[in-house]
Amino acid sequence: MVVPFSDKTQHEAKAFERTKQSFCLPDGIIYLDGNSLGPLPKGVSERVATAVEEEWGGKLIRAWNEADWIDLPTRVGNRIGAMIGAEPNAVVVADSTSINLQKALAAALQLRPERKVILSDSGNFPTDLYMAQGLIAALGDGHKLKVVSPDEVEDALDDSVAALMLTEVDYRTGRLHSMKALTAAAHAVGALTIWDLAHSAGALPVDLAGCKADFAVGCGYKYLNGGPGAPAFIYGRPDLVDRIKPLQSGWMGHEAPFAFELDYSPAAGADRMRVGTPPILSLTALDAALDVWDGIEIDTVRAASIGLADLLIDEIERRCAGFGLRLASPREGDRRGSQVSFHFDEGYAAIQALQAQGVIGDFRAPDLMRFGITPLYIGEAEIIAAAAGLETVLKDRLWDQPNLKTRAKVT
Ligand SMILES: *Cc1c(COP(=O)(O)O)cnc(C)c1O
């Protein structure tokens, strides 16, 4: 049956009505920073309280088995895996994105011992580059990190490259790489790929298995709304992962942690990418946060996100013309992730002034005002109100106050 377009749109609007009700958002706040820290979903507090009081408090050590804490990293990993096109049991939740990136990179280098180049781009998130630099120094094996501009990546691939390490969506501009094309290009020269999905998971459709991506990592606290410092995830291609010797060879990645053997022997599959004891309370929060996604198609979210981002660009450019703003994001929706950024010389102060208007975005050095688009709880009305707020900030020069120009520790 062909669903008439209007019914479909109504159905989508209904779906987001439900998800919007699923978040605790403070009154009077328009939240355009879910790409940095997702808001609190309603069921989380209760689930965490249950884990604290009934599981930890009541069951004590028995909860590892009775509440199945021990397999929570895989259970939550499978829920995230389903959102990013991973095979079953190919994703585990563990550690932070930085640590997982280093695990994946070490694995890729090990699988290409004769090659010494790690290729990345200047749009990558700095921690990814830092973790590569640290790994190179620790290995002491002559590896080099080669950083090119985002549009030069494909041409820089050659048979010296062991690993292509990229973030799919640029955290500053929102520019989206083609995972499919670049993974194929990397494989054509014999390189392996590591994709950072920090700004992809929960933001747009990802097809890890279909792209034959080798490794991937990403955050639990951005579009997945798992809470501050939520554990991250790591994916390893099932046919590769059994061949790696983990850099961080901890007991939780051992094939038999409770055999307490003196020598390390990795578990089969993605479990070998686990290291130490999982943070059960944070994992429980992330698990509960993922309930919001039940019944929601990521394609629906993507379509709404592109529409809302287009609207934000139009509204800001129309209302704020003549104030020196310049769009930093790709104008074409299919070349963008789920955020919109503008250059503005006084961007930091303007973002502070906008917060005072109840609109929360963020600032990224040197001059970017960044707005995350999250259709689960942001609709057209919020987008228009946010643009109107920015218009007020610029027209009335609300940014031009000394107290708004002193940068806090976290921007
Ligand atoms: C947010 C982000 C990270 C953060 O890593 P943590 O280890 O969780 O602090 C890493 N990579 C990218 C691309 C990010 O956007």
Residue 407 among the catalytic residues: no
Those residues with Cβ within 8 angstroms of residue 33's Cβ, 6 or more apart along the chain or in another chain: 360, 361, 362, 371, 372
Terminal-residue alpha carbon distance, the chain: 49
Question: Are the CB atoms for 236 and 107 separated by under 8 Å?
Answer: yes
Residue 222 among the catalytic residues: yes
CA–centroid distance, residue 343 to ligand 1 (Å) = 22
pLDDT number for residue 1: 42
Those residues of the chain that have pLDDT short of 70 are 1-12
pLDDT number for residue 8: 62
Residue 42 among the catalytic residues: no
- CA-nearest residue for atom 6, ligand 1, is 97
Query: Per the residue annotation, which of 95, 175, 370, 371 is the catalytic one?
Result: 370
266-296 pLDDT, tens digit each: 999 999 999 999 999 999 999 999 999 999 9
Question: Are the CB atoms for 314 and 326 separated by under 8 Å?
Answer: no
- In this structure, the residues whose C-beta lies within 6 A of any atom of ligand 1 are 96-98, 125, 127-128, 167, 171, 196, 198-199, 219, 232
- CA-nearest residue for atom 14, ligand 1, is 198
pLDDT number for residue 391: 98
Query: Per the residue annotation, which of 221, 223, 235, 377 is the catalytic one?
Result: 221
Write down the pTM of the prediction: 0.96
Vertex 193 angle, CA 191 and 198, to 5°? 165
Residue 377 among the catalytic residues: no
Helix (H) and strand (E) counts in the chain: 14, 15
